[in-house]
Amino acid sequence: MQGKRISCVDLIVTEVKLFSPQLFLLELSPMDGETLPECKPGQFVELQVKGCDQVFLRRPISVYYSDDRRLGLLIRVAGNGTEQLSKAKVGDRISTILPLGNTFSAPQGRRPLLVGGGVGLAPMLSLGTKLKAEGIEPVFLLGGRDAHAFPDLALFEETGVLHLTTEDASIGEKGFVTDHSILNEDFSDVYVCGPTPMMKAVAKWAKSKDLRCEVSLENMMACGMGVCLCCVEPTTKGHKCVCTDGPVFNTQDLLW
């Protein structure tokens, strides 16, 4: 974390967009003409939850998109804290610590594969946006139970080549991401974020193809500063705090 600019600031809610009862977009902006610190792909923020006596700790949320005036967060309602955040109104102030965590490595080639599921779509869009700005067209492979699992597909289509899988075949190919026919093609790098079983399956496939694979872990977090040790992940280099040593790890370093 040395050398990283971390700020604790109050941000203003500029948009709340409900995709479903369990999934929503929260967009925040700085006040009084200020600018946001740079948030790199894979990094996350911690939001303070007000108005809920049962929630004491901040909630860690991956960055969906960001620039110097906007911060977009894709949030799944998973408890009292995130449910309260879903009720935020435009104009509300939310205390935010950002940016936290590390980021993805640069791709080794010109055809990276970005695999996402659930709220793991957020860091994949953030990474894809950066790659596109650098002249690299990312290939997205997104998986979910059904068509309702994918918000804002237009954002992904504008950013790279998009492929989908659903368990019920309501959109894209039927099955899991590791069943998709696109995996028969050649890629230079693999980046993944989503449910752990999905990440492990993709990591196994990447290893079989001798591809470097980086994952953004979604371990339970509390402090976000590496103090509480709530998010520790065993690795080949010892136990690491996902909030400070990660959340991005090379799968070769994980005990998977």
Q: Is 82 annotated as a binding residue?
A: yes
Check whether 193 is labelled as a binding-site residue.
Answer: no
Residue 212 known to bind ligand: no
Is 58 annotated in some ligand binding site? no
70 is in an annotated binding site: no
Q: What is the 3-state secondary structure (H, E, C) of the chain?
A: CCCCCCEEEEEEEEEEEEEECCEEEEEEECCCCCCCCCCCCCCEEEECCCCCCCCCCCEEEEEEEECCCCEEEEEECCCHHHHHHHCCCCCCEEEEEEEECCCCCCCCCCCEEEEEEHHHHHHHHHHHHHHHHCCCCCEEEEEECCHHHCCCHHHHHHHCEEEEEECCCCCCEECCHHHCHHHHCCCCEEEEECCHHHHHHHHHHHHHCCCCEEEECCCCCCCCCCCCCCCEEEEECEEEECCCCCCEEEHHHECC
Residue 62 annotated as part of some ligand binding site: yes
* 164 has binding-site annotation: no
Q: Is 228 annotated as a binding residue?
A: yes
Ligand-binding site membership of 59 (annotated): yes
Give binding residues for [2Fe-2S] cluster as ranges.
223, 228, 231, 243
**Binding-site annotation: residue ranges for FAD:** 59-62, 74-76, 81-82
**Residues tagged in the binding site annotation:** 59-62, 74-76, 81-82, 223, 228, 231, 243
